[in-house]
């Protein structure tokens, strides 16, 4: 290898790492500055620049205050209830729908697929104008079950992940089970459901993060902020008179993103693969 080639290669490598470090810095800076501020006492926050490190990394006062002021204990309970119900319910109806659409030929199969595809193109926020009226008529406003149902109804991407997965389950499995006299219910629950596990885990993680972070509909349909706040909407407490106490706000923000961070660290692979497979079909 000639010297000029070596130099060229060195420059490319340097450039490569420089861009990675730079954009990682850009991605992390806003969050890290929040962490720094969250550990500062009121006095420190008033008197030091935001990028100066806090005196003590063990000053958890802001976190405790933010947690109590925003009623995050209650919010975590609500978010957990919503999460468990939405995931359970949408997994059951999603896998069942995918099973029927993939395994049965019947008039309307294509139509139903297209109806779901078309629904995924409608932008959610625009649709909330009439949905609000329907929620009002159904007496679903300020009801946790109502919010849970509307969250399940707007789930489309997961169905594509499941259908894709069904395509890879050998149909001879079904046939031999039919010969053995198994009913369709048995085939679905005993044979397909266990095989679908990786797809279910993937779409539950994606749906779970989405549900946990959802705030537009939560804000609109769970207006009783005292009893029905989710973690995302509980942060609204900091709009208004507390709006300039950023050490408190940052602590609240950090608390709210901890669960997502934990899920991310433990399930990185599933998140990436779920996103990729969802995007190709959807």
Partner 1 sequence: MNASVNIAVKKNKRTFREWLGSRDGQKVLVLLAFLIVPLILLMVFTYIPFAEMVKFSFYNMKYIGARKFVGLKNYIKVFSRKDCFGALKLSLYYMGGSVVQLSLALYLATILSFKVKGGDLFKGFMFFPFLINGIAIGFIFKFFYTRGFVFDTVLQWCGFQLENLPYWLKDRSINNISLVGTSVWRYFGQNMVLFIGAIMSVDNELYEAAMLDGANRFQQFKHIIMPGIKTIFVLNVILSISGSLSAFEPPYVITDGANGTGTYFVVMHEIAHTQQKVGLASAMAVVLLLIIFTVTILQKLYFKYLFKDGAE
Q: Which two tokens stand for residue 257?
A: 């993103």
Give residues 181-220 in contact with partner 1 (rule: CB under 8 A): 183-185, 188, 209, 212-216, 220
Neighbours of 123 (CB within 10 A): 7
Measured from the CB atom, the residue of 17 and 60 that comes closer to partner 1 is 17
The alpha carbon of residue 201 and the mean position of all alpha carbons in its chain are separated, in whole angstroms, by 13
Taking contact as CB under 8 A, which single stretch among the options 80-88, 100-108, 163-171, 221-229 is the one that binds partner 1?
100-108
Q: How far is CA 217 from CA 77, 124, 255, 281, in A?
A: 18, 9, 21, 26
The verdict on 123 binding partner 1 (CB under 8 A) reads yes
Backbone angles phi, psi at 194, to 5 degrees: -65, -35
Measured from the CB atom, the residue of 64 and 127 that comes closer to partner 1 is 127
Measured from the CB atom, the residue of 122 and 173 that comes closer to partner 1 is 122
Taking contact as CB under 8 A, which single stretch among the options 55-63, 70-78, 130-138, 163-171 is the one that binds partner 1?
130-138
The verdict on 121 binding partner 1 (CB under 8 A) reads yes
The number of residues making up the chain comes to 282
The alpha carbon of residue 206 and the mean position of all alpha carbons in its chain are separated, in whole angstroms, by 5
Shortest Å, Cβ 162 to partner 1: 12
Q: How many amino acids of this chain bind partner 1 (CB under 8 A)?
A: 86
The rounded distance, in Å, linking the Cα atoms of 138 and 133 is 9
Shortest Å, Cβ 149 to partner 1: 7
The verdict on 97 binding partner 1 (CB under 8 A) reads yes
The verdict on 262 binding partner 1 (CB under 8 A) reads no
Q: Which two tokens stand for residue 126?
A: 């625009």
The rounded distance, in Å, linking the Cα atoms of 189 and 100 is 13
The verdict on 111 binding partner 1 (CB under 8 A) reads no
Shortest Å, Cβ 227 to partner 1: 19
Taking contact as CB under 8 A, which single stretch among the options 46-54, 61-69, 163-171, 193-201 is the one that binds partner 1?
46-54
Shortest Å, Cβ 159 to partner 1: 8
The rounded distance, in Å, linking the Cα atoms of 220 and 241 is 22
Site mask for partner 1 (CB under 8 A), range 22-41, x = bound: -xx-xxxxxx-xx--x----
Measured from the CB atom, the residue of 152 and 222 that comes closer to partner 1 is 152
Residue by residue, DSSP assigns 10-54 as HHHHHHHHHHHHHHHHHHHHHHHHHHHHHT--HHHHHHS-TTSPP
Measured from the CB atom, the residue of 195 and 220 that comes closer to partner 1 is 220
Measured from the CB atom, the residue of 58 and 111 that comes closer to partner 1 is 111
Three-state DSSP class for 181?
Answer: coil
Give residues 136-165 in contact with partner 1 (rule: CB under 8 A): 136, 149-150, 152-154
The rounded distance, in Å, linking the Cα atoms of 192 and 163 is 12
The verdict on 246 binding partner 1 (CB under 8 A) reads yes
The rounded distance, in Å, linking the Cα atoms of 13 and 202 is 35
């Amino acid at each position: 290898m000639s010297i000029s080639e070596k130099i060229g290669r060195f420059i490319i490598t340097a450039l490569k790492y420089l861009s990675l470090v730079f954009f990682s810095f850009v991605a992390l800076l806003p969050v890290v500055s929040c962490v720094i501020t969250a550990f500062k006492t009121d006095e420190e926050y008033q008197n030091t620049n935001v990028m100066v490190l806090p005196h003590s990394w063990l000053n958890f006062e802001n976190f405790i205050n933010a947690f109590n002021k925003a009623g995050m204990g209650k919010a975590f309970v609500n978010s957990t209830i919503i999460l468990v119900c939405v995931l359970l319910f949408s997994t059951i109806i999603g896998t069942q729908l995918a099973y029927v659409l993939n395994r049965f030929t019947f008039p309307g199969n294509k139509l139903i697929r297209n109806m779901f595809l078309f629904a995924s193109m409608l932008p959610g926020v625009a649709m909330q104008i009439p949905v609000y009226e329907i929620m009002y008529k159904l007496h679903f406003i300020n009801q946790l079950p109502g919010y849970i149902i509307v969250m399940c109804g707007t789930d489309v991407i997961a169905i594509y992940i499941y259908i894709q997965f069904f395509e890879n389950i050998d149909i001879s499995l079904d046939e031999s089970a039919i010969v053995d006299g198994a009913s369709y219910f048995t085939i679905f629950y005993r044979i397909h459901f266990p095989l679908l596990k990786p797809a279910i885990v993937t779409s539950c993680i994606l749906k779970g993060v989405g549900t946990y972070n959802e705030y537009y509909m939560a804000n609109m349909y769970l207006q009783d902020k005292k009893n029905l706040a989710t973690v995302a909407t509980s942060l609204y407490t900091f709009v208004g008179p507390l709006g300039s106490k950023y050490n408190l706000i940052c602590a609240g923000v950090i608390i709210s993103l901890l669960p997502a961070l934990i899920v991310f660290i433990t399930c990185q692979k599933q998140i990436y693969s779920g996103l990729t497979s969802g995007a190709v079909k959807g």
